[in-house]
Amino acid sequence: MYDPIMRVLTVLEILQARDHVSGSELAARLEVSPRTVQRYISRLQDLSVPVESVRGVGGHYRLKPGFRLPPLMFTDEEAFAVVLGLRGLRHLGLSAFAPATEGAAAKLARVLPEPLRNSVEAIEEVIALEPGPWVVSTPAESLIRVATAIRERRRLTFAYQSHAASAEEQRQIEPYGVVHLDGRWYLVGRCLLRQALRTFRLDRVSGPEVGDDHFEPVAEFDVKAYLNRGMPFVQSRFKINVWVDLAVEAARSQFSLHRVAIREDNGGTTLECGRDQLEPFAAMLLGLRCRIVVHQPPELKEAFAMLAKRAFDAAGLVN
């Protein structure tokens, strides 16, 4: 759960960035209830922060003059990069950082000179970023603890729910690195239970705890390279093997960013990968506009049949 103290500080930053702000707007931006906002305001007032409240129609909160920091020296490009980066957190499955994002954006707006502040406000008004359907949300606290364990070279203990297991399994690992790829966060490390390198999806990790025991990582271990080699087959519901009537180089250009193993086969290309959802992958294959042969799984053929039915229905044809 996000630290309430950090939310209180975020309220302070938002108040410093605005002449006044309503309780309902604070609640929406922090994703909490209006009553919780009132508690945050009371906490600030207990800390002698001069927050004033105006009740009734058009009611709002505001700060007395003061609490201003000298402006930061940002170029337009630097300010654009920072704001766009903050807005892009949801594309990394880190929507839980929303309060921190609002706080950082408020700090930035508060300390920027007016021309740059206007540029930042224009960015937020005209640019909308929404995560794609493939992005899987990941707890912010899990990512923070994993990163801490990796940096301090400490063992990490957590419960893990894999596709194969019917219940969570307790794991202890020596974490080597964490990578964001294809809408998901992946943790790579040496599993003490399996006595081997393993890859874990961070959204399936529960209750990660950083232990006291230290470890020495493998020298010059490249987490990204290891993950890219194994990604097509990492913990997915369906194992896919299809042949497409497409030259291997052409197939590579289509699937280079989609964790698919590609090899030349019988004048065409064999594709192997793992997927949780089959219909999006089937639709992607249809976009190749070439002959397709499904070797496995049989459910992929069913996905093609479902897409075909929808196409007939959309065209107003009788199947």
Task: Record the tokens describing residue 283, joined without a space.
Answer: 């639709």
Q: In which residue are the tokens 């002449």 written?
A: 19
Q: In which residue are the tokens 């990394």 written?
A: 92
- pLDDT at residue 129 in the model: 60
Q: Which residue has the higher pLDDT, 261 or 310?
A: 310
User: Rounded to an integer, what distance in angstroms lies between the CA atom of residue 229 and that of residue 31?
Assistant: 39
**Range name among 41-50, 96-105, 299-308 with the lowest pLDDT average:** 96-105
Q: Which residue has the higher pLDDT, 252 or 291?
A: 291
Which run of H or of E encompasses 207?
strand 205-214
- pLDDT tens per residue, range 221-230: 888 888 767 6
Q: The domain 4-126: what is its CATH number?
A: 1.10.10
pLDDT (average), residues 173-193: 88
Alpha-carbon distance values, 278 to 161, 218, 241, 274 (Å): 21, 36, 12, 9
- pLDDT tens per residue, range 57-114: 778 888 876 655 455 556 667 777 777 777 777 667 776 666 777 777 777 776 666 7
- Using the predicted structure, report yes or no on whether residue 204 has a pLDDT greater than 80: yes
pTM, rounded to two decimals = 0.53
Average pLDDT, the chain: 82
- pLDDT at residue 265 in the model: 92
Fold of 238-315: Alpha-Beta Plaits (3.30.70)
- CA atoms within a 13 Å half-sphere pointing along the CA-CB vector of 282: 19
- pLDDT at residue 125 in the model: 66
- pLDDT at residue 252 in the model: 85
- Using the predicted structure, report yes or no on whether residue 118 has a pLDDT greater than 60: yes
Fold of 140-230: SH3 type barrels. (2.30.30)
Enumerate residues 6+ apart whose C-beta is below 8 A from 72: 108, 111, 112
- Domain segments of the chain: what residues? 4-126, 140-230, 238-315
